[in-house]
Amino acid sequence: MKENETKECGSSCKKIKGITCDVKSCEYNDGENECMAGHISVGPTDASCSDDTVCVTFRPRIEG
């Protein structure tokens, strides 16, 4: 995934069926725990358990 690919998606993105998000500070959280990023990237590749993983798509919500 390219760095700016997700950022350009903005409000035109669709919910990702089956992906929930509890991170209220992420700009892609729709307020109902659903991800609106259109697609996500999870890493790193050397993770050995869920605690080692990170949603690389996360972007902080800018209040304004």
**What confidence category does residue 17 fall into, taking pLDDT thresholds of 50, 70 and 90?**
confident
Other CB atoms within 10 A of residue 37 CB: 23
* Exposure on the CB side of residue 27, measured as CA atoms within 13 A: 19
pLDDT digit string, tens, across residues 25-46: 999 999 999 999 999 999 999 9
| CA–CA gap between residue 52 and residue 33 (Å, rounded) | 21
- In three-state secondary structure terms, 53 is coil
**What's the pTM value of the predicted model, to 2 decimals?**
0.70
